Amino acid sequence: MTDATLPTQVQTAAINRARLRNKRNAADFRLRAYGITAISIAVGLLGILLFTLVLGGYSAFVQTHIRVDFPISAEYVDPADPAEGNWRAVVSDGVGALLPSDSPAQARQIAQILTNNTQFFVRNAVVADPSVIGGTLTLDIPAADIFDQLNKGNIDRNTPEANRRVTDQQIEWFDSLQEQGRVSTPFNWGLFFNADSRFPELAGLSGAITGSFYALLVCFLISFPVGIAAATYLEEFAPKNRWTDLIEVNINNLAAVPSIVFGLLGLAVFLQIFGLPRSAPLVGGLVLALMTLPTIIIVTRNALKAVPPSIREAAYGMGASPQQVILHHVLPLSLPGILTGTIIGLAQALGETAPLLLIGMNAFITSPPGGVLEASTALPTQIYIWADSPERGFVSRTSAGILVLMGFLLLMNAVAIFLRQRLERRW
Amino acid sequence: MVGYLFLTILVFSIAAFFVGRSAGNRFVATNGVSTHSLPGYHGAFVAVWVGVPALVLLLLWLMAQGSVIDNMLLSTLPATLTEAASAADKNLLLSEIKNVAAGRIFAEPTPEITAAAETLLRWQQIASWLMVVVVVAAMLLAMFFAYSRLAPRFRARNGVEAFTSGIMIACSIAAILTTIGIIASLIYESIEFFKLVPVHEFLFGLRWEPQIAIRADQVAGNGAFGAVPVFVGTIVIATIAMLVATPIGIFTAIYLTEYASDRVRNIIKPIMEILAGVPTVVYGFFAVLTVAPAIRGAGNLMGLATSPNSAIAAGGVMGIMIIPFISSLADDAIRAVPRSMRDGSLAMGATRAETMTKVLLPAALPGIMGGILLALSRAIGETMIVVMAAGLIATLNINPLDSVTTVTVQIVTLLIGDTSFDNPKTLAAFALGLVLFLVTLGLNVVALTIVRKYREQYD
């Protein structure tokens, strides 16, 4: 080593250090960039998901209606017994006055602008108010699905007629109705108050909402008391031995069993052995209760653990028995935490689909269930049924149903967060 | 009738509570603090004695009544009807009698049937009144018994607490019963299935065509129950899901634990929770409506043959569903590494990336692995996304652009609609369910063991 090389060595070392530092900083920067990318992808995907749902679903919250004047002549409808009238004739009279038609065949085609169940709308209105017999009844009747889609702009008028689901003639009719000022698109209350139907324009969620409500009620009534009792025993009273270890491991594993396996259990035990009715919210609720039970047990144990020992010691000091300490003091104090966890568990149960499919809660049922033993669908299974239906109208109904379901989930979670913030005490 | 009886039991119990409590109050008034239990416990003691045995009795009665009456009815029928009848014929006969009794008459019934229907109605009447009498008598008897035991030194509280303990233990056992129910029903139906289809054919067979003829004259496949294509499809979709979810989840966790400010974390965490809270049927719809057509379009653009229900669409969306699962478990694992290790590394001049990759990640690796295994078990058991977006036909291929089917899809398709428990099609679903249960159970046990071991290491 000579003197001449020394400066270069120092220089190289400095350069190397700088290079190394840059490299290390670049690595740091890269890791951070990977993280940001990963989060952006996740958030972006959620955004796309919500965006497509809202985009697809908002149009189902309004429904195209057509105003029709039905002449209710006493010839067709007997004022003494309005329910038994010749409603088909009444409807064809009303429709005939809408648009001119050349032939009976064309008149029938015009009638198809209105929903298939038009006569029931007219009948119900007349039965509710028989004084219109002899006069004219003006009603807003839901338009058939293809016209609903045409009105909402989901059918492109520029595509050739052969590739379009409405004919030029039908478009002409619809436009002429629009010129007459008969077309309106009010808020679609039917989405919430109608039960399922084969016709998208009439299909609604009331059956599914009622079914889900009953199932969740059963689920809550079973899993809440049983879960709290089990958790209280395991956390506070159980001796630590092999049996209680087994129960613990078992509960942790039960929480991770795929939901469809619970459906198989429901099918084999509740339907096959106990002979409970298929598609009933009672069975759905029982299956969901078994699935929610581990969740409630786990949150209850955590809530019990969070109560400070001073409470217990004070109660023991006053001469309370072990059960009095827990049931009178510790459990009431942990109730907010338990409630929060229970609501979150019920929200999960509300979104659960697979086990309900196996016990037949995906049947086609056109009236809301009157009790827990009647056949019914639930919100998620209704969404599944609609997603499988071919009509264009059901695509937007599916999205709208999902928005309703997510609305309920959001509401439940909001209640849970509210409870946590208002009631939960920090010790 | 039964509803009113339940109500009566409730009313009696409440009344019993007040009777017992007033006795307790009397004891306190006369004996003062030397009374063993509080008045409320005396009340509860009597109420439990009145209500619970009556309730149990009523439930047992309701369960037994139907079959007892059926048997009595059969024995009254003329021998010509029952002598040579098989069990199924007898059931048919009984249901005919019940229909006639309920007024649902389809054809003119024979005089024997009509007579039997009248007997049935009479007996049902008698049985329901007898039930009321028995239950009320039991309650009165229990009331008398429990009340007579009350005394100032009587340990009413201990009695009530023993009852409460019993209820709590019974509830804890419910969780075990669920597991036993799952295992027993899966194993029982699987054994029935393996009587029809040998185990080795199910586990190693390469053809899965479960659509067998239900009626003899129906045109359908002969049925083949080799589940390998189904298993392969499940593995393909789960692999795609894990390939999507693992890097995104872990990098998200790294960023959130090491780089993100509190404000960013408070925004991102709830978003991840929303992602985790979206019901799976929604993801399924998303996969069918948005992702699958997009992937198909992209595939066609590149000149690749893409199936409309490609494995990559179902697996990709399943991956999205699993991201929050992995990120939160990895987040927990990284956070569980003692702060001193991180601080030590930073104090030596290491950058944050070096601290993360050379100190925190290696230390957190077992926890992260456990999280990945749990996520894998969830991917394998996930149903709705694949039912809606994956294929139905089992083909033995691993091309992610092609359509494959999974265990859960097959279970659902085999069991949707009416199910009878005597054909291999229905039973095959339970055999698949058993495999699914065992695999996910294995993954969960391994994952939970790893996570627990690792937690203990730093506690």
Token digits of residue A192: 């919430």
If asked whether residues B146 and B215 sit together in one domain, one would say no
Token digits of residue A186: 């009010």
If asked whether residues A138 and A261 sit together in one domain, one would say no
If asked whether residues B369 and B436 sit together in one domain, one would say yes
Q: A140 forms bridges with which residues in the sheet? A: A67
In a domain, B199, yes or no: no
Which chain B residues have a beta carbon less than 8 Å from that of A387?
Answer: 281, 284-285, 288, 388
Q: What is the DSSP letter of B375?
A: H
Choose between A242 and B241: higher pLDDT: B241
Q: What is the pLDDT of residue A231?
A: 94
Q: What is the pLDDT of residue A107?
A: 81
Residue of A nearest to B352 (CA): A28
Q: What is the pLDDT of residue B419?
A: 63
* Residue B417 zone, left/alpha/beta (φ > 0; ψ -120 to 50; rest): left
Q: What is the pLDDT of residue A259?
A: 93
Total domain count, chain B: 2
Q: B209 forms bridges with which residues in the sheet? A: B224
Which amino acid makes up residue A422? R
In a domain, A193, yes or no: no
Which residues in chain B come in under a pLDDT of 50? none
Q: What is the pLDDT of residue B219?
A: 54
First to last CA, chain A: 70
If asked whether residues B142 and B264 sit together in one domain, one would say no
- The residue among A131, A157, A187 that closes a domain is A187
Q: What is the pLDDT of residue A4?
A: 56
- The residue among B154, B172, B196 that closes a domain is B154
Answer whether B349 touches A (CB < 8 Å).
no
Chain B interface, best mutation among A31, A297, A331, by max B CB count within 10 A: A31
A409 with B186: Cβ contact below 8 A: no
Choose between A8 and B406: higher pLDDT: B406
Closest partner CB to B377 (pick from A39, A256, A297): A256
If asked whether residues B270 and B417 sit together in one domain, one would say yes
Which chain A residues have a beta carbon less than 8 Å from that of B354?
Answer: 24, 27-28
Q: What is the pLDDT of residue B411?
A: 92
Answer whether B371 touches A (CB < 8 Å).
no
Answer whether A233 touches B (CB < 8 Å).
yes
Which chain A residues have a beta carbon less than 8 Å from that of B377?
Answer: 256, 258
Burial label, A408 (beta-carbon count in 10 A; 0-12, 13-18, 19+): middle
Cα gap A348→A291, rounded to integer Å: 10
Helix (H) and strand (E) counts in chain B: 18, 2
If asked whether residues A99 and A247 sit together in one domain, one would say no
In a domain, A392, yes or no: yes
B18 lies in which domain range?
Answer: 2-154
Choose between A96 and A337: higher pLDDT: A337
- The residue among A156, A187, A218 that closes a domain is A187
If asked whether residues A301 and A246 sit together in one domain, one would say yes
Cα gap B319→B391, rounded to integer Å: 17
If asked whether residues A53 and A72 sit together in one domain, one would say no
Cα gap B44→B35, rounded to integer Å: 16
If asked whether residues B109 and B224 sit together in one domain, one would say no
Q: What is the pLDDT of residue A348?
A: 92
Answer whether B326 touches A (CB < 8 Å).
no
Is B224 in a helix, a strand, or coil?
A: strand
In a domain, A199, yes or no: no
Which chain A residues have a beta carbon less than 8 Å from that of B162?
Answer: none
Token digits of residue A231: 């958790």
Cα gap B390→A173, rounded to integer Å: 42
Answer whether A34 touches B (CB < 8 Å).
yes
If asked whether residues A249 and A370 sit together in one domain, one would say yes
Token digits of residue A44: 């972006």
Q: What's the pLDDT band for A105 if we cut at 50, 70, 90?
A: confident
Residue of B nearest to A383 (CA): B281
Percentage of residues in chain A with pLDDT exceeding 70? 98
In degrees, rounded to 5, the angle at the alpha carbon of residue A344 between the alpha carbons of residues A339 and A349 is 120
Chain A interface, best mutation among B180, B252, B263, B281, by max A CB count within 10 A: B281
Total domain count, chain A: 3
Q: What is the DSSP letter of B106?
A: S
Cα gap B322→B233, rounded to integer Å: 18
In degrees, rounded to 5, the angle at the alpha carbon of residue B277 between the alpha carbons of residues B276 and B278 is 100
Q: Is the pLDDT of residue A228 over 90?
A: yes
In a domain, A194, yes or no: no
If asked whether residues A17 and A151 sit together in one domain, one would say no
In a domain, B113, yes or no: yes
In a domain, B163, yes or no: no
Q: What is the pLDDT of residue B215?
A: 56
Which amino acid makes up residue B311? A
In a domain, A192, yes or no: no
What's the gap in Å between the CA of B234 and the closest CA on chain A?
14
- Closest by CA to B272, choosing from B253, B285, B246, is B253
If asked whether residues B121 and B255 sit together in one domain, one would say no
- Closest by CA to B250, choosing from B336, B372, B155, B148, is B372
Alpha-carbon distance values, B55 to B2, B13, B136, B162, B398 (Å): 11, 10, 11, 18, 58
- CB-CB contact of B60 with B41 (8 Å): no
Chain B interface, best mutation among A21, A37, A49, A379, by max B CB count within 10 A: A49
Q: What average pLDDT does the structure give for chain A?
A: 88
Taken in order A104, A109, A112, A116, is the CA torsion positive or negative?
A: positive
Q: What is the pLDDT of residue A242?
A: 87
If asked whether residues A48 and A87 sit together in one domain, one would say no
What's the gap in Å between the CA of A184 and the closest CA on chain B?
29
If asked whether residues A220 and A344 sit together in one domain, one would say yes
- Average of per-residue pLDDT across A260-278: 89
If asked whether residues A352 and A398 sit together in one domain, one would say yes
In a domain, A381, yes or no: yes
What's the gap in Å between the CA of A373 and the closest CA on chain B?
15
If asked whether residues B150 and B263 sit together in one domain, one would say no
- The residue among B120, B154, B188 that closes a domain is B154
Cα gap B346→B355, rounded to integer Å: 7
In a domain, B377, yes or no: yes
In a domain, B239, yes or no: yes
If asked whether residues B221 and B329 sit together in one domain, one would say yes
- CB-CB contact of B346 with B340 (8 Å): no
If asked whether residues B135 and B271 sit together in one domain, one would say no
Cα gap B312→B245, rounded to integer Å: 13
In a domain, A335, yes or no: yes
Alpha-carbon distance values, B16 to A209, A397, B57, B151, B164 (Å): 40, 55, 18, 16, 18
Cα gap A18→A11, rounded to integer Å: 10
Answer whether B323 touches A (CB < 8 Å).
yes
Closest partner CB to A387 (pick from B247, B285, B327): B285
Q: Containing H/E element for B131?
A: helix B111-149
First to last CA, chain B: 60
- The residue among A155, A187, A219 that closes a domain is A187
Chain B interface, best mutation among A28, A50, A236, A364, by max B CB count within 10 A: A28
Chain A with chain B: Cβ pairs closer than 8 A: 250
If asked whether residues A54 and A88 sit together in one domain, one would say no
Q: Is the pLDDT of residue A38 over 90?
A: yes
A278 lies in which domain range?
Answer: 206-423
Residue of A nearest to B167 (CA): A229
Cα gap A256→B444, rounded to integer Å: 7
If asked whether residues B252 and B119 sit together in one domain, one would say no
- Domain CATH for A214: 1.10.3720.10
Cα gap A6→A362, rounded to integer Å: 84
In a domain, B338, yes or no: yes
For residue A238, the number of C-alpha atoms closer than 13 Å in the C-beta half-sphere is 24
Q: What is the pLDDT of residue B191?
A: 93
If asked whether residues A387 and A238 sit together in one domain, one would say yes
What's the gap in Å between the CA of A59 and the closest CA on chain B?
16
If asked whether residues A320 and A224 sit together in one domain, one would say yes
Cα gap A276→A256, rounded to integer Å: 27
Answer whether A354 touches B (CB < 8 Å).
yes
